[in-house]
Amino acid sequence: MKLRKLAALGTCAAMVLSLAACGGSSTATTTAAAAPAETTAAAAAETTAAAAETTAAAAETTAAAAEAPAADFSGTTLVFASDAVGSGSYNQIVEMSKVLENEGGFGLVDVQPISPGGMGAPYLFADGAVDLAFLNAAPAKWATEEGTLDKGPTSGYSAIAGGLSAVCYINCISNKFLSDHGVSTIEEIFEKKLPLRIGCSAVGSMDAEGAYLLLDYFGVTQEDLESWGGSITNQSGSENEAALQDGKIDFYIDHTSSSSSTMAEIATTCDVTFLQWGDDLIDWFVNEKGFQRVPVPAGSFKGQDNELILPGSPDSLFCRSDLDEETVYQITKVLSENRDALVGIYSSLSPWDVETCMDAEKLGGNALHPGAERYYKEMGYIK
């Protein structure tokens, strides 16, 4: 009997121990599950705190930048090369120089009328004596790749802003020539090897370069043209106008704008058509030669009823490549912010668009100076 009681007591004790063990197992599991949750919460809190610290640091940096004193350019002299005194670009550069001094804080902007313009202007930077100059972006590209005007390649300049003007290869042809040969496009004339007599300015000018580039595109030499009965005559605008009137040339090409007085006079006194070139020809000028597409508004000249899109190389602002970034940033900022005031004085600068003047086509593929790039990125114009 006693043995049965002892056995029963043993069984009860075992059951109690078993229940205790089960209870202990449940508590351990709950604790184990709670641990990862606590760890995740702690990590999230640490991440939030770190993000807050980063934001605070960025705010401090921004505040510090805002509080930083503006750079002092009062001791800086810039040499700005221009065309001849009294020329359109000279007058524009004088006004820009005033803005750089009065609004930009530069001590002196020395305008020197030493630029040969066009094809020769890129060589202004060769000896490091010039800080700023207007260049045509296309010859700026050629000068670095192969040289121009029988000179070797050069370098040492970078772009600040392109497309400051709206010059392009405006061209017109005698209607008599078109009717006599039954053609209507420049492409047909070269494909049929017609005796086209071309008038343009002196060799080495941007005007004449357009005529020679046309021959280059069509794979024609001047000797080929002459063998067809054609020619190229290099002479002044007034002489080309007279030659068209007298039937001595058939085609005139000029790197000029829609406000050209010579073209306006020709349109009034001669029976001509202003030609639109084909897309393939324009693409070649743009993609291979560094030109940009420039619109000539309809009605710019008598008889020109439709808008023309032609390749051109407008004035662009370039600087010495080794001019320090802070200085070029200030030049870019001040001129961009005063663009409207400058256009108010010289409407010929109206094509200048501060939001797109750094586009590759407007710069002819030339490199943008880091100081200018920094300003345009800061403004959101370069993404």
pLDDT by residue (tens digit) across 342-377?
999 999 999 999 999 999 999 999 999 999 999 999
* Domain presence at residue 60: no
Whether residues 203 and 299 fall in one domain = yes
Statement to judge: residues 109 and 235 lie in one domain:
no
Are residues 156 and 85 both part of a single domain? yes
List the structure tokens of 133. 């100059």
Q: Alpha-carbon distance 145 to 127, whole Å?
A: 18
CA 8 – CA 10 distance, rounded (Å): 5
Note whether 204 and 214 are same-domain residues.
yes
Same structural domain, 175 and 305: yes
40/12: higher pLDDT: 40
Kindly state the average pLDDT of the residues 68-85: 91
Q: Do residue 223 and residue 250 come from a single domain?
A: yes
Do both 210 and 262 map to the same domain? Answer: yes
Residue 160 CA to residue 169 CA, distance in Å, equals 24
Last residue of a domain, one of 271, 287, 312: 312
The whole domain housing 370 covers 77-165+314-379
CA distance linking residue 311 with residue 194, whole number of Å: 23
Residues 198, 272, single domain; the answer is: yes
180 with 301, same domain: the answer is yes
Element holding 199 (H helix, E strand): strand 197-200
Q: Does the residue 288 lie in any domain?
A: yes
* pLDDT(214) > 80: yes
State the Cα–Cα distance between residues 214 and 198, nearest whole angstrom: 11
**Residues near 203 by Cβ (< 8 Å), separated by ≥ 6?**
234
DSSP three-state, residue 315: strand
Query: What is the tally of structural domains in the chain?
Result: 2
pLDDT digits (tens, 9 = 90+) for 108-129: 999 999 999 999 999 999 999 9
Residues 6+ apart with CB under 8 A from 342: 92, 95, 96, 99, 335, 349
Q: What is the pLDDT of residue 70?
A: 75
Query: Are 172 and 308 part of one and the same domain?
Result: yes
For residue 276, give the nearest of 170, 125, 132 by alpha carbon.
170
Instruction: Tell me, yes or no, whether 290 and 190 share the same domain.
Output: yes
Answer yes or no: is 58 within a domain: no
Residue 353 φ then ψ, to 5° = -115, 110
- Structure tokens given for 116: 């040969």
Structural domain includes residue 22: no
What span, in angstroms and rounded, lies between the C-alpha atoms of 347 and 330? Answer: 24
Residue 38: band (very low, low, confident or very high) from pLDDT cuts 50, 70, 90:
very low
What CATH number should be reported for the domain holding residue 332? 3.40.190.10
Same domain assignment for residues 301 and 176: yes
Of the pLDDT bands very low, low, confident and very high (cuts 50, 70, 90), residue 6 is: very low
Residues 83-108: pLDDT tens digits?
A: 999 999 999 999 999 999 999 999 99
Task: Give 124-143 as a DSSP string.
Answer: GGTTS--SEEEEEHHHHHHH
- Note if the pTM is more than 0.75: yes
33 in a structural domain: no
- Report the C-alpha gap between 81 and 134 in whole angstroms: 8
Cα 360 from Cα 190, distance rounded (Å): 31
Percent of the chain past pLDDT 70, that is, above it, reads 82
